Chains A and B, each alone.
Chain A
C-alpha cells in the first residue's frame, strides 16, 4: 500500500503509524452518552473510512487518510492541520 503524504509525496505504508478513525471530538461538557459513543462505538463500514495517520518515519505530519477498506484504494490524504485543527 502506498500513501501520498502532502509533504513528502507517495511513500510506503511502513513509514506511517495509524492511530485510528478520524473523528470530530465532542465538546468537553458533552453528555456522557456522546462521549461513550466517541470513545467506544464505530460504524465499521465496508467502504470508505477516514483515519488519522502519522508520518512517523518521514516529516512527522498528522494526515487524514481516506481509504476504501474493501479495495485498499487510498482515495485522498490531507494535512489534519488544514481540516480545522491547530498545528
Chain B
C-alpha cells in the first residue's frame, strides 16, 4: 500500500511576513457548501442554528466565529467552515464537500486593507467592511471570497488550482505597500 503524503494548497509557500502584514495558510477542519432547496431557506437556517449554533448568513455576511463559521458564498449558497455539517441538513439543502477545492489564506496586520486595495475593486476599508462582512469579488483576475475575520485580518479564498498565483499576487502587493513605508 502506497504511503500517500497530503499536501496543503499553499504547501511550501507560506507563511510570509513583509513589513507589518503576515500572510499564512488556514486549513479549516472541514468545508461544505449549503445550497437551500427552493422555499427551504428558513427551515435550513433553523436547522443550522440547532445543529451548529449559527444561522444561515444574509447576503454579504457571515455567521459563527473562528472554528465554526458560515459564510455567504454566492447566489443561494453558503459555505460552512470548521465543522462537519450535520447530515440531517440534507433535508433542506444540497450539501457538497468543498474540503479539497479551495486555498484558504489569512492576511493579517496593520496595512492588510491597503494590500487588498491594490487587488480587489471593492471598498474593503473598515468603515464599510466590518468584521463578519464578506464579498465574492475579483482578486487579480481570480474569483475570490473575502471575509473580514478581525480588526486587521481577512480570510481570502480562491480555487485550489490558483493557490500559487494567489500567494504571488498577495506577496507582490504586500511588498509594494511596505515599500511606500
Complexed CA–CA distance, A7 and B61 (Å) = 11
Instruction: Determine the residue in chain B with the shortest Cβ distance to A61.
Output: B75
Complexed CA–CA distance, A59 and B138 (Å) = 10
Chain B residues with Cβ below 8 Å from A14 are 121, 138
- As a 0/1 sequence over residues 3 to 39 of chain B, the CB contacts with chain A under 8 angstroms (1 = contact) are 0000000000000000000000000000000000010
Tell me if B171 is interfacial: C-beta within 8 Å of chain A.
no
Determine the main DSSP class of A at the interface with B. loop
Contact check, B138 vs A8: say whether CB atoms are below 8 A apart.
no
Chain A residues with Cβ below 8 Å from B76 are 87
Tell me if B122 is interfacial: C-beta within 8 Å of chain A.
yes
With A8-B136, A12-B121, A15-B121 as known contacts, state yes or no: A57 contacts B143, CB within 8 Å: yes
Closest Cβ–Cβ distance, residue B81 to chain A (whole Å): 18
Complexed CA–CA distance, A8 and B61 (Å) = 11
Contact check, A58 vs B121: say whether CB atoms are below 8 A apart.
no
Instruction: Determine the residue in chain A with the shortest Cβ distance to B35.
Output: A87
Interface size classification for chain B: 10 to 19
Tell me if A72 is interfacial: C-beta within 8 Å of chain B.
no
Contact check, A11 vs B122: say whether CB atoms are below 8 A apart.
yes
- As a 0/1 sequence over residues 70 to 84 of chain B, the CB contacts with chain A under 8 angstroms (1 = contact) are 000011100000000
Closest Cβ–Cβ distance, residue A87 to chain B (whole Å): 7
Chain B residues with Cβ below 8 Å from A56 are 143
Closest Cβ–Cβ distance, residue B64 to chain A (whole Å): 20
Closest Cβ–Cβ distance, residue B12 to chain A (whole Å): 28
Chain A residues with Cβ below 8 Å from B74 are 58-61
Tell me if B137 is interfacial: C-beta within 8 Å of chain A.
yes
Chain A residues with Cβ below 8 Å from B75 are 7, 55, 59-61
Contact check, A11 vs B121: say whether CB atoms are below 8 A apart.
yes
Instruction: Determine the residue in chain A with the shortest Cβ distance to B141.
Output: A57
- As a 0/1 sequence over residues 70 to 87 of chain A, the CB contacts with chain B under 8 angstroms (1 = contact) are 000000000000000001
Tell me if B45 is interfacial: C-beta within 8 Å of chain A.
no
Complex partner residue of A15 from B38, B59, B138, CB under 8 angstroms: B138
Q: Which B residues contact A (CB, under 8 angstroms)?
A: 38, 59-60, 74-76, 121-122, 135-138, 143
25 contacts between A and B (CB under 8 A): A7-B59, A7-B60, A7-B75, A8-B60, A11-B137, A12-B138, A14-B138, A15-B137, A15-B138, A55-B75, A56-B143, A57-B136, A57-B137, A57-B138, A58-B74, A58-B135, A58-B137, A58-B138, A58-B143, A59-B59, A59-B74, A59-B75, A60-B136, A61-B74, A87-B38
